[in-house]
Amino acid sequence: MFEQLLWSLIHRPYITVFLIAFLLLSWLEQGARRTVIWVISSYLVALLAEWGSINHGIPFGKYVYHYEALSNDLVVFGVPFFDSLSFSFLSYVSFSLAQFFMSPLWIKAYDVQRVTSVEVRNSVSVLLLGAFLMLVVDLIVDPIANLGKYWFLGDIYHYPDPGVHFGVTLENYAGWYIVATVTILLNQRIDRLLLDREQRRGEPVRLVYVPLKGLFAPCFWSGIVIFQLGVTYWLAYGVEAVPDQEQLKLQALTGSFIIAPILVLAAAQLTKPSNRVKGDDIRERIGTYPLGSAVRSDDEPRGASPPATLVAASQDHEGF
pLDDT in tens, the chain (320 residues): 788 888 888 888 999 999 999 999 999 999 999 999 999 999 999 999 999 999 999 999 999 999 999 999 999 999 999 999 999 999 999 999 999 999 999 998 889 999 998 999 999 999 999 999 999 999 999 999 999 999 988 999 999 999 999 999 999 999 999 999 999 999 999 999 999 999 899 888 889 899 999 999 999 999 999 999 999 999 999 876 778 889 999 999 999 999 999 999 999 999 988 788 877 677 777 777 876 433 333 333 333 333 333 333 333 333 32
Is 13 exposed, middle or buried, given 0-12, 13-18 or 19+ CB atoms closer than 10 A? exposed
300 is a domain residue: no
Give the list of residues 6+ apart from residue 201 with CB closer than 8 angstroms, or none: none
**What's the number of domains the chain is made of?**
1
Is 106 in contact with 115 (CB distance < 8 Å)?
Answer: yes
Is residue 91 a part of any domain in this protein? yes
Task: Judge whether 181 lies within some domain.
Answer: yes
Q: Are 73 and 80 in contact (CB under 8 A)?
A: yes
Per-residue model confidence (pLDDT) at position 316 = 36
Separation CA 88–CA 22 (nearest Å): 8
Q: How far apart are the first and last CA of the chain?
A: 50
- Return the beta strands (E) in the chain as ranges: 64-65, 75-76, 79-80, 105-108, 111-114, 157-158, 205-206, 288-289
Going from the C-alpha of 146 to that of each of 149, 169, 179, 252, 289, the distances in angstroms are 8, 11, 20, 14, 40
pLDDT for 226 equals 97
Q: What pLDDT does residue 291 have?
A: 63
Q: How far apart are alpha carbons 88 and 180 in whole angstroms?
A: 10
Q: Where are the alpha helices (DSSP H) in 103-215?
A: 118-121, 124-145, 170-201
User: Quick check: is 307 in a domain?
Assistant: no
In a domain, 304, yes or no: no
CA-based nearest residue to 52, from 39, 43, 61, 44: 61
- In degrees and rounded to multiples of 5, residue 75 shows phi and psi of -120, 130
User: What per-residue confidence (pLDDT) applies to 305?
Assistant: 35
How many residues are listed for the chain in this entry? 320
| Domain span holding position 26 | 2-295
Residue 320 lies in a domain: no
In a domain, 15, yes or no: yes
Q: Are 92 and 137 in contact (CB under 8 A)?
A: no
Considering the domain boundaries, does residue 306 fall inside one? Answer: no
